Chains A and B, each alone.
Chain A
Amino acid sequence: MTATPSNPASEPIPDAVRMHVDGLEMRYGDFLIQKDLTFDIRKGEVFIIMGGSGCGKSTLLKHMIGLIRPAAGEIYYGDTPFWAQEEDVRQQMMQKVGVLYQQGALWSSMTLAENIAVPLEEYSDLSAKTIREVASLKLALVGLAGFEDFYPSEISGGMCKRAGLARAMALDPDILFFDEPSAGLDPISSKLLDDLILELRDSLGTTIVIVTHELDSIFSIGDNCVFLDAETKTMIATGNPRELRDHSPDPRVRLFLTRGQTDGHEDQRESEQVKR
């Protein structure tokens, strides 16, 4: 193995808070999206951000990975407040973070190997040969061995996503963010991706944050979650998704997690109408 995790998971401190979101408020101009978001993400857990369409899940992700500055509140990586830092410090902090975008977001002018090489070229002094080896390894890890010299336009959407994951893993990040990983994948590919995510967590101790509304994924891999609600514009639940499904006091959360199978059937129909 040419790459070893920069933070070996040999001694995980139990319940160490890896990320802390404190009183976050998100706006587009005057339009409030979500407010009063406060939650912890612990080291080595699979954390799910969920909620109905248009509630601001992806926007929350963009705040957490430093693309949008919060209107109020702060995001802590460990003990370090992220947005209080200067831009170059923030850029440095982002090197510990990997992001898999919805469509992979591979740079289309480069081959897969070159895509993975970019962060390595920027942030390491490795030789071109070693970089190439690391790229091949990462591609092999996501099941794309032999695709080094393909361009993103030459492979399928699901493969683009996996290659995007390989790129996100290039610098052996501590935290991996996934924006709707199963969107546009068939059930089997999406299951394989879930397995891969768990594998990464277990072998490298990577903390995983996933934006999704796929119930299958939520229950099979989620350790902890936050539930965003579009109407009240804040989080209405946090905790283990399986427990929330069975024991949440809030009918809206149970409704979502059971696909509207609870007694609240009529409510959903109504709220659906109000939204339209």
Chain B
Amino acid sequence: MAEAETARISTAQQGDATLEVSFSGAFVLAASAPQQIQALQELPASIHKLVLKDEGITEWDSALLILLMEIKQRCEKQEVELDFSGLPKGAQQMIQLASEVPERKGAAHDGKRDSFLVRIGKKSQSTWGEVTGFVTFLGAATISVGRMLTGRAQYRHSEFWAIIQECGPKALGIVTIISVLVGAILAFVGAMQLQMFGAQILVANLVGMGMVVEMGALMTGIILAGRTGASFAAQIGTMQVNEEIDALRTMGIPPMDYLVLPRLVALVIMTPLLVIYADVLGILGGAIIGIFALDIPPVLFFNQTFSSISLWHCAQGLIKGSTFGLLVAIMGCLRGMQCGRSASAVGEATTSAVVSGIVMIVVADAIWTYIFMTVGM
């Protein structure tokens, strides 16, 4: 059919109460809708019966069906009898099929919003559920660590070393790039201010203190949240979807020991090491700027750096770093274990692990900073 005939609908009054509607041409979605549909928009009140007739429909598809459904609904609303026995058999059957099961009331999601109070109530209920879930998980993890210390935990040592490898050495690349750049940025920003007093040499103090106390740990924590926390959540979440965790349980192997424990321990061991590495690289990044852009002699720069930071400063950074590692591992594993049983749930678990990991890192950082300040050493 090279040239599809345009669809036409014509109406003719038959007697007092009957309207005859004739269809002809091609009713296909690709073609434009027939003009006469307007005529059917408002049926005169005197009409009580509508007879649909096929006056040479050349081809039809869903376009005709949509039209018929619309007419049918209008007829039902105005209580007009509808007779479509004159239409193609296939179309009649399709209409029959579509009308067989009545539209389920309330099946379509109504856009009605809950009232303000109801929403507050629901929100606080779900928040409370989050809190109890978190605390329960912490408790189970603690018991599991206890089992490990007494040598009764069931986990595979090869798996543990694989996780150590994955979250430690394999993160060195990105930690290198980020900490060198952060060290350099600190040096640049500091230099601009300190130049005004002719005190460029203090850039060394700024970079040293900034990296060791704060930025080394914070940057490592955030990198781990995005890299390792996300992968923990995705791994455990996928295992949840595949019933692999159920399989562990029915074999009498607690998933807490088998999956969560090695991840927690691995990250708590590896994070401080990464923080030390980040500190050193950050100071190097600052030194590059200090030596080449600010013309500070290398020996002077490093002497100044090491005289400004004490062991206690390093310890502060390491304490923060260990906390961050623990938080990232907990959030990653918790979200993985809470994961629903679908592919999209794994995505949500991963996102949530990263977001809540970062939030908790920053909150923990604030708390530790406050504690260290009040301790005042």
A80 at the interface (CB under 8 A from B): no
A106 at the interface (CB under 8 A from B): yes
A109 at the interface (CB under 8 A from B): yes
A99 lies within 8 A of B247 (CB): yes
Known interface pairs A103-B243, A105-B247. Does A94 touch B101 (Cβ–Cβ under 8 Å)?
no
A90 — nearest CB in chain B belongs to which residue?
A: B252
B243 lies within 8 A of A105 (CB): yes
Instruction: List B243-264 residues whose CB lies under 8 Å from chain A.
Output: 243-244, 246-254
**CB-CB < 8 A to B253: which residues of A?**
118-119, 122
B251 lies within 8 A of A94 (CB): yes
Instruction: List B96-135 residues whose CB lies under 8 Å from chain A.
Output: 100-101, 104
**CB-CB < 8 A to A65: which residues of B?**
250
Alpha-carbon separation in the docked complex, A94 to B246 (Å): 12
**Nearest CB of B to A110, in Å:** 9
B242 at the interface (CB under 8 A from A): yes
Known interface pairs A95-B251, A122-B154, A122-B251. Does A101 touch B101 (Cβ–Cβ under 8 Å)?
no
Query: What's the count of A-B pairs with C-beta under 8 Å?
Result: 59
**CB-CB < 8 A to A92: which residues of B?**
252
Most chain-A CB neighbours within 10 Å: which of B101, B104, B238, B247? Answer: B247
**Nearest CB of B to A1, in Å:** 23
Known interface pairs A105-B243, A276-B104. Does A67 touch B250 (Cβ–Cβ under 8 Å)?
yes
B249 lies within 8 A of A67 (CB): yes
**CB-CB < 8 A to A99: which residues of B?**
246-247, 250
B159 at the interface (CB under 8 A from A): yes
A127 at the interface (CB under 8 A from B): no
A67 lies within 8 A of B252 (CB): no
**CB-CB < 8 A to A119: which residues of B?**
251, 253
B239 at the interface (CB under 8 A from A): yes
A108 at the interface (CB under 8 A from B): yes
Alpha-carbon separation in the docked complex, A157 to B247 (Å): 17
A108 lies within 8 A of B252 (CB): no
B104 lies within 8 A of A118 (CB): no
Alpha-carbon separation in the docked complex, A153 to B244 (Å): 14
**Nearest CB of B to A112, in Å:** 14
A105 lies within 8 A of B242 (CB): yes
A108 lies within 8 A of B249 (CB): no
**CB-CB < 8 A to B247: which residues of A?**
99, 101, 105-107, 167
Alpha-carbon separation in the docked complex, A53 to B136 (Å): 34
Sorting the interface of chain A by its residue count into under 10, 10 to 19, 20 to 34 or 35 or more gives 20 to 34
A94 lies within 8 A of B250 (CB): yes
**Nearest CB of B to A161, in Å:** 12
A107 lies within 8 A of B239 (CB): yes
A217 at the interface (CB under 8 A from B): no
Could you mark each residue 152-173 of chain B with 1 if its beta carbon is under 8 Å from any beta carbon of chain A, else 0?
0010100100000000000000
Instruction: List A4-30 residues whose CB lies under 8 Å from chain B.
Output: none
**CB-CB < 8 A to B104: which residues of A?**
276
A109 lies within 8 A of B159 (CB): yes
B243 lies within 8 A of A91 (CB): no
Alpha-carbon separation in the docked complex, A94 to B254 (Å): 12
**Nearest CB of A to B240, in Å:** 11
Most chain-B CB neighbours within 10 Å: which of A62, A105, A109, A123? Answer: A105
A122 lies within 8 A of B252 (CB): yes
**Nearest CB of B to A232, in Å:** 22
B251 lies within 8 A of A103 (CB): no
Instruction: List A64-91 residues whose CB lies under 8 Å from chain B.
Output: 65-67, 90-91
A273 lies within 8 A of B251 (CB): no
A38 at the interface (CB under 8 A from B): no
**CB-CB < 8 A to A121: which residues of B?**
156
Most chain-B CB neighbours within 10 Å: which of A99, A107, A122? Answer: A107
A272 — nearest CB in chain B belongs to which residue?
A: B101
- In the complex, which of the residues B101, B156, B250 contacts A273, with contact meaning CB atoms closer than 8 Å? B101
B159 lies within 8 A of A95 (CB): no
**Nearest CB of A to B164, in Å:** 15
- In the complex, which of the residues B100, B243, B254 contacts A101, with contact meaning CB atoms closer than 8 Å? B243
**Nearest CB of A to B316, in Å:** 37
A240 at the interface (CB under 8 A from B): no
A94 lies within 8 A of B243 (CB): no
Known interface pairs A107-B239, A109-B159, A122-B154. Does A66 touch B244 (Cβ–Cβ under 8 Å)?
no
B250 lies within 8 A of A103 (CB): no
For the complex with contacts A106-B244, A108-B242, A273-B101, 16 further pairs of A-B residues with Cβ separation under 8 Å are A62-B246, A65-B250, A91-B252, A91-B254, A94-B249, A94-B251, A94-B252, A103-B243, A105-B244, A108-B238, A108-B239, A108-B244, A121-B156, A122-B251, A123-B252, A276-B104
Residues of A that sit less than 8 Å from B by CB: 62, 65-67, 90-92, 94-95, 97, 99, 101-103, 105-109, 118-119, 121-123, 167, 273, 276
Q: Which 4 A-B pairs have the closest CB atoms?
A: A91-B252, A105-B243, A105-B247, A101-B243
29 of the cross-chain contacts (CB-CB < 8 Å) are: A65-B250, A66-B249, A67-B250, A90-B252, A91-B252, A91-B254, A94-B250, A94-B252, A95-B251, A95-B252, A99-B246, A99-B247, A99-B250, A101-B246, A101-B247, A103-B242, A106-B244, A106-B247, A107-B244, A108-B239, A108-B244, A109-B159, A119-B251, A119-B253, A121-B156, A122-B154, A123-B252, A273-B100, A276-B101
